[in-house]
A and B are shown apart, each in its own frame.
Chain A
Amino acid sequence: MPVTAAADGTRRADPTGTAGCVSAGVDGAMAPYLQADELTTRLVAAALRCIARWGVAKTSLDDIAREAGVGRATVYRAVPGGKDRLLQLVLRHEIGRLYHEIDTELAAADDLADLLTRGLARALSVVDHPALGYLAQHEPELVLPHFAFHRLDRVLAATTELCRPHLARFLPDDAVAPAADWVARIVVTYAMHRSSALDPHDITSIRRLVRSYLLPALTPHPSPLPSPQEQP
Chain B
Amino acid sequence: MGEVEETRRRIVAAAYACMARDGIASTTLDATAREAGVARATVYRYFPGGRDELIAAAVTDQVAAFFARLREDVGDPQDVTALLERGLVAGRRRLAEHEVLQHVLQVEADRLVPQLASVMPIVMGVLRDEIAARLVRERLRPGVAVGEAADLLARMMLSFMGTSGCWDLDDPAEVRRLVRGQLLAGVLAD
Contact = CB atoms under 8 A, between A and B. Distances in A.
B105 A156 contact: no
Interface size class of B (residues with CB under 8 A): 35 or more
B113 A148 contact: yes
A215 to B, nearest CB: 7
Contacts of A156: 163, 165-166
A152 B166 CA distance: 11
Nearest to B177: A178
Interface size class of A (residues with CB under 8 A): 20 to 34
B166 A212 contact: no
Contact of B148 (A148, A197, A215): A197
A95 interface: no
Given A212-B186, A217-B185, A178 B166 contact: yes
Contacts of B183: 217
B87 to A, nearest CB: 16
Given A188-B159, A217-B181, A141 B113 contact: yes
A145 B159 contact: no
Contacts of B116: 148
B186 A215 contact: yes
B124 A193 contact: yes
A5 B171 CA distance: 36
B66 to A, nearest CB: 14
B172 interface: no
Contacts, number: 93
A149 B185 contact: no
A217 B166 contact: no
A210 to B, nearest CB: 10
Where chain B touches its partner, the secondary structure class is: helix
Contacts of A141: 110-111, 113-114
Interface stretch (B9-17, B46-54, B150-158): B150-158
B113 A181 contact: no
A192 interface: yes
Interface string B167-190: 100000000000001110111000
B141 interface: yes
Q: Which of A150, A151, A160, A185 has the most CB of B within 10 A?
A: A185
A149 B152 contact: no
B109 A148 contact: yes
A149 B186 contact: no
B117 A140 contact: yes
A216 interface: yes
Given A145-B113, A185-B160, A186-B156, 6 more contacts: A140-B114, A181-B167, A182-B156, A186-B152, A189-B156, A197-B152
